[in-house]
Structure 1
Amino acid sequence: MRDRVLVSVNEIMIHHQLDDTFINQVENYQLVSFVIKNSQKFIIADEMPRMEKIIRLHYDLDINMEGIEVIKNMLDRMEALQDEVRKLQNRLNIYE
């Protein structure tokens, strides 16, 4: 199994000037998966774009966590539909 690259939540908080409350809300709404290692909290590096998007939505656009959760769910559904369309197009290309 390949090792996952982890990013320290403390580093994210310092870099983006976040407080513990924001991180706890993100965790409570399960918007990003956190990993506990050596009693420190980390985010998998692959989830950093999602975390940064959440930070921008909340602080730049003043969207609350409930709104961010709805946006996340809609984007996840849209991505799944796009994947399904891609698969169907590939299957259709076989017959052309």
Structure 2
Amino acid sequence: MSDKELISIQKVMVHHHLDEQFIESVESFQLLEFVVKDSNKYVYTEQLPVLEKIIRLHYDLEVNMQGIDVINNMLDRMDAMHTTIQQLENKLKRYE
């Protein structure tokens, strides 16, 4: 991926008023993939919505990192099930 698709974690921290410990927790629970370049951390811009969801869950709903990990895993499974249901419905429509 190119540099244009990266955003500095420092910018995200300033924008969302985050502390370094929060970012370290997100990284330690492997909730997001960070890129280290020139001793600075970056996140892919396509992952910003995921980071913002993590921020909302943690600060607005007071969910801890373990809970956020569980929620993310459940949402991923639900998305996979939804995709499977859509595929099965499409197959079923062919036979109607």
Same fold at TM > 0.5: yes
1:40 aligned partner: 40
1:22-61: CA deviation from partner (whole Å, max 9, x where unpaired): 0000001111111122221111111111100100111111
Alignment-mate amino acid for residue 5 of structure 1:
E
Inter-partner Cα distance in structure 2 for 1:52 and 1:10: 14
1:84 aligned partner: 84
SS at 2:90's partner residue?
helix
Q: How far off is 1:7 after superposition? A: 1.3
Q: How far off is 1:62 after superposition? A: 0.9
> Percent identical across equivalent pairs?
49
Alignment-mate amino acid for residue 57 of structure 2:
L
TM-score, normalization by structure 1: 0.90
Inter-partner Cα distance in structure 2 for 1:79 and 1:45: 21
Q: How far off is 1:87 after superposition? A: 1.4
SS at 2:35's partner residue?
strand
1:24 aligned partner: 24
TM-score, normalization by structure 2: 0.90
Q: In the comparison of the two structures, how many residue pairs are matched?
A: 95
